[in-house]
Structure 1
Amino acid sequence: MTTVAPDAPRAPERTAPAAGTEAPATPSSRDVYRDLLVEFLAADERVVCLDSDTGLFNGVDFAGTEARYINLGIAEQNLMGVAAGLARSGRLPYVNTMATFATTRALESLKLDIALNNLPVRIAATHGGLAAGHLGSTHHSLEDLAITRLLPNLTVVVPTDAASTETLVRQTQELPGPVYIRLGRNATPDLPAGAPPQRLGEAQRLREGDDVTLVATGPYPVHAALEAAGTLAAAGIEATVLNFHTIKPLDTGALIAAARTTKAVVTVEEHWAAGGLGSAAAETIAELGVPTPVRRVALGDHFARGTGGQSHLVERNGITAAAIVTQVREALGATGRS
């Protein structure tokens, strides 16, 4: 197995689009989640919404459930502690904050109050990855998947688009333990029409191919993988594309089957290369002794370059179809199986 996590190539400087101008006219994942939460509040008296002054619910009609919307302000550790207490008392708390604050500022409370006690707290982490790119490195979340996948008992979900958000959030409703849901800020492109249904804990197969497997998570990485698969097909290289919308529990069966039936695995994520989906894939394949090279397309060992909209920063930091194609060609060339 070869694991390569190169620094992303620096794309030419260009003017970043203004924040909020790059997204298509479809609902964002956080807006879909917000509407679902209003529905859950109305349908189940156990549900409580805990906010950290995100403004996510401005203008929302809670239709008689206002008493179960609690804004605790910018105090993320306290947010997790209150959620744990409510969950222990029989409530179903939905915690709302930005991804980087949920997993770094509040990590000790997440670990000891919620995960250790295996409590049914749902953490809706908005601005995942580079979705808050216009706010700079303080608000980028490029470590959250590494952190959350390490915590026992925690389910980790990364919806791909609006429809995916509704499907997966509904599937997490009755899970007995805690859930981390990585959401965006603005709308992102939809998955292709006719994509197979998403099931929690199962990789979604978006394309079949015998030469290489592209394993992706998150909206922009999944679309980059699909674009790369089209480019590779034109060159006679057929790629399987798997959408790992669930990081934990990881669908190791689908991953190992793909590694055994194709010549290389390339992972794609809006995350640092260390610790995220790529690390999980490499660990799994190595531990089970599958002699398939693994390459990673992710941010290298540096903070994200630039500020601006999410799609601009994803491209500028090398999470692109072109980078995937390069990794595929190098991996296949290294094995002599191209």
Structure 2
Amino acid sequence: MSQLVKHHLFWPLCVLAVLLLFNLCYSPDFFSITIHDGHLYGSLIDILNFGAPLILVAIGMTLVVATKGIDLSVGSIVAISGAVACLSISKASDQNALGLILTSVLLAAGLSLVLGAWNGLLVSGAGIQPIIATLILMVAGRGIAQLVTGGQIITVTSTKYAYIGSGSLAALPFSIFVVALVLVIAVLLTRKTALGLFIEAVGCNPAASSMSGIRARWVILWVYVFCGLCAGIAGLLLSSNVSSADGNNAGLWYELDAILAVVIGGTSLNGGRFYLTGTVIGALIIQTLTTTIYMIGVPPEITLVVKAFVVLAVCLIQSDTFRAAIAARWKSRHYPAEKEVTRHVS
């Protein structure tokens, strides 16, 4: 039992289960799933669908955090990606042309790769601290997204582009398959090749890893490139789901939610070992919490406050030090005689 409790997925799964059970008690039809026109509908499906962009961003953030880095620019990259894709489509006379959709998607994804490479070069090449290097693009990127959109919301009428974020495949939202594909690729690259070991080695000790033959700078560069790509795909999902791009609000605070998802999933901000499965569960916790807050009617003004307190509670529950302190206090309060005997013996 103690080994089960110490497993990095135990507490995140418990918290997710508690949230789901609370929703079930509050709304008895929360787990109900219906089929309409060959599509599955329900609260659980909505959590997976609306949580897909956050899961993508968190997957990329996990690898960055594993190298003892951070990427604060993912929210801005989300906004830029959606803005570029929607702008490209909106200028065409036939917005449903397949070639146009593919070109726009590739253009947005390519730009996301470039932005990720920019962060990676600043961190690995210029030696700038990750929080500062990515803060530059976080601020500038939001301005770039607003320049692309002209400060307005760009709307598109392309049904093929809308399919990316709101379409269905095999009765499930297409976004779920996009997330599954990216997750499988990330798992295969990091767990079936030496790349995962290189990432953990760089996160534990970059100098020692370089001396052992690992090209630490290249590893750091590529994790930021991958993180940028994940954020770019998330931007495509978000913008296609609503058939519009908002350079001001798209992806806002995504960087903080992604970092929280990574931490809740068991990956330490000090770098080293990382857990992609835990990150996915952490992102689902955050999305389920958001759904719960809206469902019970919490006023929008205090939504972030409630969310922050719940996330704090989750992190404290996961902390071995915090749990040990609580257990010691409980033991000293309920077994004072044992404490007295220990004092006399010593």
Structure 1 length-normalised TM: 0.25
With structure 2 as the length reference, what TM-score do the two structures score? 0.24
Normalized per residue, the structure richer in strand is 1
Choose between structure 1 and 2: higher helix proportion.
Answer: 2
Query: Which structure exhibits the higher relative contact order, with contacts defined as CA atoms closer than 8 Å and separated by 6 or more residues?
Result: 2
